Amino acid sequence: MKRSITKSRLNDVEHLYRVVLESDECDATSMEGRRQQRELLRIVVDNPGMMECGVAFFQKLKMSHNGSAWIIEMEAVAT
């Protein structure tokens, strides 16, 4: 699994924090792909720190398959 975080300035006081989690390579429709999808969700649910987007918990979450891996994208706006 890979994890990356970016911080973008929105205005003088607010920032957009974006966290991307990526599973290992897998086919979305295979048994291994389904296992990795569940595992990625389990990692987020079982580890509250994984829900952090900078200084806040996520306000938006999206999960999708990009053709080679499962991706979870989380965003939060914080000061």
Mean pLDDT of 16-33: 96
Tokens of 76: 């939060």
pLDDT digits (tens, 9 = 90+) for 49-67: 999 998 899 999 999 999 9
Length reported for the chain: 79
Query: What pLDDT is recorded for position 16?
Result: 97
Q: What is the mean pLDDT of the chain?
A: 95
What are the boundaries of each domain within the chain?
2-78
